[in-house]
Amino acid sequence: MRLAMMGLGKMGANMVQRLMQGGHEVVGYDRSTDIIAEMEAKGMLPASSMADAVKQLPSPRVVWLMVPSGSPTDSAIQELIPMLEEGDIVIDGGNSNYHDSQRHGALLAKHDIGFVDSGTSGGVWGLKNGYCLMVGGEKNVVEHIEPILKSLAPADDRGWAHVGPIGAGHFTKMIHNGIEYGMMQSFSEGFALLRGKEEFNLDMAQISELWRHSSVVQSWLLDLMADFLAQDQTLSEVEPIVADSGEGRWTVIESVDQGVAAPVLSLALQMRFASQDQEGYGNRMLSMMRNAFGGHFVQGKD
């Protein structure tokens, strides 16, 4: 199958390579001419613009978007609509909010253009290991792109699934990322406690490797931890600041909307916010309140 990939960042470029390995022809476009040239050398068909990419596709055209969520995705879809025809398909493989995906699906349906929202997990390891694809869309549209999904997934029969109607793919990926926040927070707290027991002088690399085998907590996250702890246990060169991509926030908002308790996921998100707080104003307030009612010591900057 021939398709277009719009957006050749870390994920998009690797997905192009995996698709080509699966026997597909990929027309690629990105605002960076350097990455287009790099991918062309690997066998990708280059495009100078989105319009140029679409012109190189047979009907029905399949366009996969791997661009940032929000306005960039909105703009890309708006730009694509005049270029596409009835029966063509747009796939959003980025981390869009599922409400946006439902809106995009309804908009494209007015033009008889199919839409698929694909929650895409696998990160920089997807090229080697395959991607986990959580797909939302109409059955006939998803069936048309099955060859693409099977090539991107670890195998034809696993690592991808049509999970529901339009919006369901990104909703599933949103919850997936919320769970990811909780798992990462749990591991980080546990290893902080292990390191804090100085009298035992525990070897973090040894323990992470130990737990990878027949332990209840074995996971890919633990595998990754074991890899970097084997190189550096102190992590002294890493700033203790953890970014959040947005999907953790959406997951917590969803828990509020549904009235479903999600304390672990919510607190994991709050801990990321705490790590990003360069001002520390709330903690300064706490220190001053303790001083005001109890005369407790206030630590000055100097």
Asked whether residue 294 carries a pLDDT value surpassing 90, the answer given is: no
- Asked if the domains 2-165 and 174-278 are classified in one and the same CATH topology, the answer is no
| Residue ranges covered by each domain of the chain | 2-165, 174-278
Kindly state the helix (H) or strand (E) to which residue 193 belongs, with its residue range: helix 168-196
pLDDT at position 296, please?
A: 86
Q: Summarize the confidence of residues 126-140 as an average pLDDT.
A: 97
CATH architecture of 174-278: Orthogonal Bundle (1.10)
Top-confidence residue, 245 or 197:
197
Query: pLDDT (tens digit, 9 = 90+) per residue, 25-57?
Result: 999 999 999 999 999 999 999 999 999 999 999
Asked whether residue 178 carries a pLDDT value surpassing 80, the answer given is: yes
Query: pLDDT (tens digit, 9 = 90+) per residue, 211-248?
Result: 999 999 999 999 999 999 999 999 999 999 999 888 99
Mean pLDDT of the chain: 95
User: For residue 121, what are the contacts with CB-CB under 8 A and spacing of at least 6?
Assistant: 131, 132, 133, 134, 173, 176
Radius of gyration of the chain measured on its C-alpha atoms: 23
Predicted TM-score (pTM) of the model is 0.92
How many C-beta atoms lie closer than 10 Å to residue 98's C-beta? Answer: 23
Asked whether residue 263 carries a pLDDT value surpassing 90, the answer given is: yes
Let me know if 173 is a catalytic residue: yes
**Which residue is catalytic, options 146, 180, 209, 254?**
180
Q: Summarize the confidence of residues 137-164 as an average pLDDT.
A: 98
Kindly state the helix (H) or strand (E) to which residue 109 belongs, with its residue range: helix 98-109
Q: How confident is the model at residue 11 (pLDDT cuts 50, 70, 90)?
A: very high
pLDDT at position 267, please?
A: 96
Let me know if 180 is a catalytic residue: yes
pLDDT at position 94, please?
A: 94
Q: How confident is the model at residue 7 (pLDDT cuts 50, 70, 90)?
A: very high
Q: Summarize the confidence of residues 174-203 as an average pLDDT.
A: 96
pLDDT at position 298, please?
A: 87
Lowest average pLDDT, out of 60-64, 146-150, 258-262, 283-287, goes to 283-287
For the domain spanning 2-165, the CATH number is: 3.40.50.720
CA 112-115-118 angle, 5° bins: 175
Tell me the C-alpha distance between 2 and 254, whole Å.
Answer: 37
Asked whether residue 300 carries a pLDDT value surpassing 90, the answer given is: no
pLDDT at position 301, please?
A: 79
Asked whether residue 302 carries a pLDDT value surpassing 80, the answer given is: no
